[in-house]
Structure 1
Amino acid sequence: MGSPKITRRAMLGRTGLAAAAVGLTLAGCGSSGDASPGADASSGGGASLTPVKLQLQWVAQAQFAGYYAALDQGFYKDAGLDVSILEGGPDIVPQDVLSAGDVDYAISWVPKVLGSIEKGAKITNVAQIFERSGTTQISFKDKNITSPADLKGKNVGSWGYGNEWELFAGMQKAGVEVGDIKLVQQAFDMNGFLAGDIDAAQAMTYNEYAQVLESENPATGQLFTPADLNVISWNDVGTNMLQDAIWANSDKLGSDAAYQDQTTRFIKASIKGWVYARDNPQPAADIVTNAGSQLGKSHQLWQTNEVNKLIWPSASGGIGMISDDAWTRTVGIAKGTKNETGATIISADPPATAKSTTYVEKALTELKAEGVDVEGKGFTPATVTLEQGGA
């Protein structure tokens, strides 16, 4: 595999590490010159590849393992696509980059994009990759916070930037308003939580939760364990919202036949990447590490495993399908939950163009015909041992 072409711009990542906004091109870097398993015959071995840019919503990490795997394993190349993956960061809004026409596709959470669509962004959810929410609120056992109602009067951390809506919805469902807590602007790390400044901190199952478990408990000299923590999962509370989805340009979907076909091929190849990550978690984690992620090896594997849990098994008929129930719940929360200023994400239902299952349905039909397991009903998570600092 040749060296990827990389450009970097320093910034602070959510893990507290120096990260980068990276344009990474690996198309054509499969393990051999032969077509990868499951290659599309229609790609035509000698045909030129179509350049495609994908904007991530964060830096390189296993949250995006499927896309990096699709690149590394040659699935995009097999689909006739020369894909460049652009890293995100705290100062990059993926849907804005897509709406501006600077990229072809973007990865972002549904509630964040719904707000942009109401403001005029013409983009469409074409594949809902994550079926479950990875957002939690964690606390140490001595805080006695086991439910949203217990957050009243506590120092509650949130990153903001649209990450807070499940928290606010869960609190308000329990009768706790934003004014009933002390809302703490949480940094993109767990230092404030570990220092005791935050009673209940926001944590993704695949990232910040692991950061705590990788840290030493000063009372024991050993790493913290799950037994030291209480976890509020918004999946359990019922205020979980749809997260990572593939977004496309609405206008081009409506008028450009080539873009329509490209979108199906892009989704299909991306799904192959996620199937690879499901069936090969350690190699998938290694692929992301080799792509430039600065996370440690055990943390990267933990992240791959936890992200797999958000996708598999698919309860929607196949990875990428948009559940009507989950969409309706997300829209309802976006319309009915208030932030600290009393504002909601959106004031009315989004337009019909906010989502489309046309392209993912075609991709899934083709994959099933090829014998690809797109539902993962037999998925069993791996057991991952975290090392100190995620090493």
Structure 2
Amino acid sequence: MRRPARRLRTALAALAVAGTLAGCGAFGDAPSQSGGEPRPEGQAIRVGLPTGVTSFANADLAVAIEKGFLSEVGLTVEAQNLRSGVSVVQGVVGGALEIGAASIEPVVNASAGGGDVAVIGAYTDKLTVSAVAPADVATAADLRGRQVGVQEVGAFREVMTRLVLQSAGLTPNDVQYIPVDAQSYNSALVDGRIQNAILQTEQAIAVQRDNPGMHTIAELDSIVPEYHYGTYFVSRAWLEANRDVAVRFMTALTRAHRFMYENKDETVRIVAATTQFDEQVISQAYDTLLTQKAVFPVNTGLDKARIKATMRRMGELGILENEPPVYEQLVDAGPVIDAVDSLGVQAGDARWR
């Protein structure tokens, strides 16, 4: 059934409110709640990831764990894979997670709705996804009347779908949204349940390799090159009590990003095991994401102009019901600035951020 624009706006508003009030986990399962007390040094912190199976874009956390960068700063991380970034925001605001990883949209909506959240860093600040379709969908304009896969209204892939549709002069009213879990997009494309999916780079490579006729109809970083993608974020109350933990966390993740650029073979091995794709696919994705596009920041990765441009684009798309937060309300760059200060700024490549 199609979702008219009014229903979409209502659903988005409900999600923004829920994101500021509730704590829930993947597929309806609620993570255990915690009190607001700071955890002792060395005790595990819970980090929520926005897909049921970790993507390459979020695999920096796996690298930081595997290489001991987190243990070296006295942290043990328990990663929890949730349904989408909306669920991760709910978990952080509700106290079930100490740190969340999510695309920027649900974090902005939570902040705009009065949620007590602060972005402290980025995983991939550049977009890493493509719109993939079967052979009979030659361009984005051919999606009119088709079934397209999304996770949740207001979550990352639905927002990216809107951008693809907009590039062809279409709106969500021109297609039929089909709810699909992130790890099921490839199978849904292959069996014909959907005729378009927003896929992470490794997903796009795998489905096109194994299914002749599947092809990319849009690269999102070409449609919106100024768009900020991934965030690490926390509640401001937690940050006030645990700023040193946030600094140590961002130090470990920054080290992981730098390691990934310098160690392809080991990175491919870790990411393949984490994402459940074979090493051939991950090697090809590595060449795209790190060698060609440099999507992982090696310094702060929090460009004020890019983040403000992203919030403006959210407003244009109609996915920001309230006034956008000012940058300083949304972002506390202090932890990652302190991390980079301790490691030294990495320079020598114009792409380094």
Describe the shift of the 1:92–1:361 C-alpha distance in structure 2 as closer, same or farther (beyond 3 A): closer
CA distance in 2, matches of 1:293, 1:363: 27
TM-score by length of 1: 0.68
Structure 2 SS opposite 1:52: strand
CA distance in 2, matches of 1:263, 1:280: 26
Point out where structure 1 has 5 or more consecutive residues left out of the alignment.
1-10, 13-19, 24-46, 218-223, 339-343, 380-391
1:131 to 2:125 alignment: yes
Q: Which deviations, in whole Å up to 9, do the C-alpha atoms of 1:227-267 show, x marking residues without a partner?
A: x62431122122764222111221233x33xx212211210
Describe the shift of the 1:173–1:137 C-alpha distance in structure 2 as closer, same or farther (beyond 3 A): closer
Q: Is the 8 A contact 2:50 2:85 kept in 1?
A: no
Displacement after TM superposition at 1:298 (Å): 2.9
Instruction: Work out which of the residue numbers 194, 209, 234 in structure 1 matches 2:220.
Output: 234
Q: Is the 8 A contact 1:368 1:374 kept in 2?
A: no
Displacement after TM superposition at 1:302 (Å): 4.1
Structure 1 SS opposite 2:344: helix
- Partner residue, 1:179: 173
Structure 2 SS opposite 1:143: coil
- Partner residue, 1:287: 270
Describe the shift of the 1:346–1:309 C-alpha distance in structure 2 as closer, same or farther (beyond 3 A): farther
Farther off after superposition, 110-119 or 81-90: 81-90
Displacement after TM superposition at 1:270 (Å): 0.9
Describe the shift of the 1:91–1:175 C-alpha distance in structure 2 as closer, same or farther (beyond 3 A): closer
- Partner residue, 1:368: 344
Describe the shift of the 1:354–1:233 C-alpha distance in structure 2 as closer, same or farther (beyond 3 A): same
Q: Is the 8 A contact 2:126 2:295 kept in 1?
A: no
Instruction: Work out which of the residue numbers 353, 372, 380 in structure 1 matches 2:329.
Output: 353
Q: Is the 8 A contact 1:264 1:363 kept in 2?
A: yes
Q: Once superposed, what is the RMSD of the aligned Cα atoms? A: 3.5
Point out where structure 2 has 5 or more consecutive residues left out of the alignment.
1-25, 33-39
After TM superposition, list the pairs within 5 Å mapping 1:104-253 onto structure 2. 104-145=98-139, 148-161=140-153, 162=155, 163-172=157-166, 174-186=168-180, 188-207=184-203, 209-217=204-212, 229-238=215-224, 241-253=227-239
TM-score by length of 2: 0.74
Describe the shift of the 1:61–1:376 C-alpha distance in structure 2 as closer, same or farther (beyond 3 A): farther
Displacement after TM superposition at 1:195 (Å): 3.8
- Partner residue, 1:383: none
Q: Is the 8 A contact 1:250 1:353 kept in 2?
A: no
Q: Is the 8 A contact 1:129 1:319 kept in 2?
A: no
Describe the shift of the 1:60–1:279 C-alpha distance in structure 2 as closer, same or farther (beyond 3 A): same
- Amino acid in the other structure paired with 1:212: V
Judging by fraction of residues, say which structure has more helix. 2
Q: Is the 8 A contact 1:137 1:201 kept in 2?
A: yes
CA distance in 1, matches of 2:109, 2:77: 28
Structure 2 SS opposite 1:176: coil
Q: Is the 8 A contact 1:122 1:250 kept in 2?
A: yes
Q: Is the 8 A contact 1:130 1:311 kept in 2?
A: no
In the alignment of these two chains, the number of paired residues is 313
Displacement after TM superposition at 1:98 (Å): 1.5
- Amino acid in the other structure paired with 1:283: E
Structure 2 SS opposite 1:86: strand
Q: Which structure would you say has the larger Rg?
A: 1
- Partner residue, 1:86: 80
Describe the shift of the 1:337–1:91 C-alpha distance in structure 2 as closer, same or farther (beyond 3 A): closer
Structure 2 SS opposite 1:356: coil
- Partner residue, 1:70: 64
- Partner residue, 2:279: 297
- Partner residue, 2:253: 270
- Amino acid in the other structure paired with 2:230: D
Q: Percent same amino acid at aligned positions?
A: 14
Displacement after TM superposition at 1:374 (Å): 6.5
Farther off after superposition, 95-104 or 233-242: 233-242
